[in-house]
Each structure stands twice: as C-alpha cells, then as structure tokens.
Amino acid sequence: MREALAGRRFIDVNSTMSGGGVAEMLRRLQRYSRGAGLDARWFTLRGDRAFFALTKQLHHLLHGVDGCGPPLDRVGGAHYAAVCEANARALRGVVRPGDVVTLHDPQAAGLVPYLRRVGARVVWRCHVGTDEANLYTDRAWAFLRPWLETADAYVFSREQFVPGWLAGRRVAVIRPSIDPLSAKNRPLAPSAAAAILSRVGLRAPVDREGPAVYRRGDGSVGRVRRDPTCLCSASPPPADAPLIVQVSRWDPLKDMAGVLTSFAEAGGSLDGTHLALVGPDVGGVTDDPEGGRVFAECAALWRRLPDGVRMRAHLACLPMADTEENAVIVNALQRSAAVVTQKSLAEGFGLTVTEAMWKGRPVVASAVGGIRDQIEHGVHGILLEDPRDSVSFAAQTGTLVGDRCFAGVLGAGARRRVRENFLDDRQLLQQTVLYRNVAGV
Ligand code: UDP
C-alpha cells in the first residue's frame, strides 16, 4: 500500500480526541498507518455548544430515536454549514488533491463538498445506525444527504445501517476492532489490576498491596495518580465481592440509569454483588453535550437508593487528562469484573463489549445494532432481546455471577470470537482495500 499510494496523505477528521469509540480507534489505526510508512494525519474539528447539540441530535436520530435536541431547521442548518466551512478553511493548508480524507459521523459530514472541491477523495464513515429505518432516521438523512451526495465512498459498521438512498454507490461495511497491545487491552496481572482499582476507590485495599503501576506505550512505567473526577460510593467494594461493571459514555442510549435501577430492583439474585458504573469525566468529551446531565441523573438516582443497595453501587467518572492512565483503569475494571454489562438501547458497534470479550469476561448485553454482530447468544455471551427488560437483565446477570462454570465457557467463546473477527489487523486490511479503490490505484 505504501508503494501504491505514495505521495498521498490519509487524513481522518472527527470531533473529539478522547472519549468514545471513534477516538479510541483512530488513535491506534493512525499509529499503525504511520508505522507502515503512510503520511497519516488526524484532524479534530472545532465547534461550539450549538453545533454539538445539533450533531448529537443527529446521532440520536440515526439511532432511530428522538434525542429531544434542537430542531434541524433553517437556523440549525445555517449554523452547521458555518461551522463546517470554518473547519474546512482550517484544513485547507493540509489537504491536497488526491489525498484521501475520511470524515467520521454527522459532525464531519458537512465537510464533504469543501474537500471534494480541493480535489481530495472523500470517504464518509458512519459509526452509528439502527436496523429499522423510521421517521427519525428519515429526518436525519434528509438533513445529511445534501452534504453527503458527492462523497467517493461510504463506510458503515453494519449492512443494516446503510440507508436505501445509497443504493448503487460505493459502500463498504467495516466493523470496528480493538488493539490487544494497547493499554486498554494488554494483559494485566490480577494484583496490578487490584492495586489500580483500589487506587481509584473502586476496590477495598488489601494487605501488602503493590503499587498502582503499569507499562506505558513507550515502555516507561506509569503510575495511576489521578482520582476519579466524580465518585458516588459509600465505601469501595470489598476485594472479594463479585463486581458487575458497565463502562460507557454518559449517554442516555447507554442506559446507565437502567442498569442502576435494575440492580436496585433485582432482589436476591444479585445479593452480595457490587455494581460499578464507570464513564469518562463529563467535561472531557468535547462532542458530547449530554454527559453532565446524564451523570447528574444517575447520581440523583444513586442518592435515592435504599441504604443496602446504595452501599453496593458505585458511580465513577474517570479523568481523561492522560489517555493511557484512563485506559489502564478501564482495563483493570473489565478484567476484575465477574460480569460485564452493556445494556444499551441502541449501539453502533459497542467497543466496550469487544474489550470485555477479549478479556474473557462473560457479557450480558442488549441485542441491538453491532452488539448482534459480536455475540451469538449463549456462545460468546448473553443477548437480551428487549433492552428495556430490567427483570431479565438482572436475572441473566445473576445467573452468570452464580454459575462460574457457564460464565467461563462464555468468556472463552468471547475471547475466541474477538481473536478471529475483531482485532485491528482485519480492519487495517479492509481499510487498505478501501483506500486503494477510492484512490483508483
Ligand atoms: N471509554 C474509555 N474511558 C471511559 C469510558 C469509555 O476509554 O471512561 C472507552 C471504552 O473503553 C471504549 C470507548 O470509550 O473503547 C467507547 O466505545 P463504544 O464503541 O463502546 O461506544 P461509543 O462511546 O463510541 O458510543
């Protein structure tokens, strides 16, 4: 590929440097591309609150739900156009004719016409979607389609997400993937994981605990230093308590509140277990204006829980200042979990599911969007047909906590599934084919 595409730049444009699956993948895929000798660059677009409120509404609509965000009217459209134009201007010195630019998600869709005009080959990659089109998805496409018409290719995470109006165009389905060598997924000894969790208040310390250290990407030794920016926890979970973990952005579609409610109402099946709901610092994800509100709602719910349940539920916002430190905390949590959940109401793909599966954890997840592509029910994890069914969510989670043998079988199946399908080498090869097609070489 280096020979075929020599002299071109490969530029990814998205809307945040950290927090969320797209930033997570770009950081690594960019490094692999640069390591292979390509001129790969990453540009993060700038926008104001009104812009990100509008694009978050588009994100919800593409998932087939109304996010109750601002209307996609003439005023909103004009503001979207102005922000995209300003970002296109900032890119003007970087993009040259023949370069391949991948624009990610609704935030960057508005750059297509500007970049086509300077002679770039433009790919629009959509990481969200829903299997069934409805009036909300129609509304999103009516807004986005005029911007997207002239793109050279379109990428989706799932066939079912491709809208009908793209029939006959160049469309690729590329499923996301994870890097087993990253701080998020690298092996971590149980003692190191325990030390890291007790450092951030999510595990009670034990006697003769080691230091909360880990190996950084550059080979140096890192030490977890930062505290969660918010922590709702009466006291840390005991070291021997089975831990149920969900790691997600504070987004209504991840249904953290639903997990908490289900846990509170579970009764006997989850007795003795502890729940950790963990997400990024709500100020740390620049393109997600809902984080603060969703976390505040979960915290209010937590405060109202009966004492006996509140003692066993823990909410944490992890600092985002150091992405490797953040990643290793997530790694420690996922590895220490008895069960990992992902009770999403909609999901583009769900890298958190892949990450947990790679670590051999039993997963209970909603049968929505890309999660369906990852888990075959009863083989690689447990799929919940109705994501709002909190009774069976708690029951299935309780079954896995109680039946460690079955949990182990699912965990082993999950790890195998990820090794065969969802590691970065597969995605990089697909990306290579796409780049060559788009560049016409
Ligand atoms: N994530 C993280 N720190 C956090 C919360 C989430 O690194 O505090 C990561 C998580 O491990 C995963 C990504 O953010 O890699 C979320 O991707 P996913 O596809 O699950 O959902 P998205 O946020 O893109 O909707």
Q: What H or E segment, with its residue span, contains residue 11?
A: strand 9-14
Which atom in ligand 1 lies closest to the alpha carbon of residue 323? Answer: 7
Q: Across-strand partners of 123? A: 102, 153
Q: What is the whole-number distance in angstroms between the Cα of residue 26 and the centre of ligand 1?
A: 13
Choose one of 351, 375, 418, 424 to mutate for the ligand 1 pocket test, by most ligand atoms within 8 angstroms of C-beta.
351
Q: How confident is the model at residue 48, as a pLDDT?
A: 96
pLDDT at 284 over 90: no
pLDDT band with cut points at 50, 70 and 90 for residue 269:
confident
Pocket flag, ligand 1, residue 349 (CB < 6 Å): yes
pLDDT in tens, 5-42: 889 999 999 999 888 899 999 999 999 999 999 999 99
* Among the ranges given (232-241, 286-295, 344-353), the one the predictor scored with the smallest mean pLDDT: 286-295
Question: At the top level of CATH, which class does the domain 228-421 belong to?
Answer: alpha beta
Residue 282 identity (one-letter amino acid) = V
pLDDT at 322 over 90: yes
Which CATH code is given to the segment(s) 9-177+423-439?
3.40.50.2000
Structural domain boundaries in the chain: 9-177+423-439, 228-421
CB 203 within 8 A of CB 194: yes
Pocket flag, ligand 1, residue 318 (CB < 6 Å): yes
Pocket flag, ligand 1, residue 327 (CB < 6 Å): yes
Q: What is the whole-number distance in angstroms between the Cα of residue 19 and the centre of ligand 1?
A: 6
Q: How confident is the model at residue 426, as a pLDDT?
A: 96
CA distances (Å), origin 433, targets 3, 430, 440, 441: 14, 5, 10, 10
pLDDT at 4 over 90: no
Share of the chain above pLDDT 70, in %: 100
> Which of 142, 87, 148 minimizes the C-alpha distance to 123?
148
CB within 8 Å of 198: residues ≥ 6 apart: 204, 205, 206, 209, 212, 236, 239
Q: How confident is the model at residue 20, as a pLDDT?
A: 84
Q: Region 76-102: what's the mean pLDDT?
A: 96
Pocket flag, ligand 1, residue 13 (CB < 6 Å): no
Q: What is the whole-number distance in angstroms between the Cα of residue 352 and the centre of ligand 1?
A: 6
pLDDT at 286 over 80: no
pLDDT band with cut points at 50, 70 and 90 for residue 217:
confident
Q: What is the whole-number distance in angstroms between the Cα of residue 368 and the centre of ligand 1?
A: 17
pLDDT in tens, 330-381: 999 999 999 999 999 999 999 999 999 999 999 999 999 999 999 999 999 9
> Which of 332, 360, 356, 361 minimizes the C-alpha distance to 192?
332
Give yes or no on whether 9-177+423-439 and 228-421 have one common fold. Answer: yes
Q: Region 244-260: what's the mean pLDDT?
A: 97
Pocket flag, ligand 1, residue 20 (CB < 6 Å): yes
Pocket flag, ligand 1, residue 249 (CB < 6 Å): yes
Q: Region 193-199: what's the mean pLDDT?
A: 96
Which atom in ligand 1 lies closest to the alpha carbon of residue 318? Answer: 8
Share of the chain above pLDDT 90, in %: 92
pLDDT at 439 over 90: yes
Pocket flag, ligand 1, residue 381 (CB < 6 Å): no
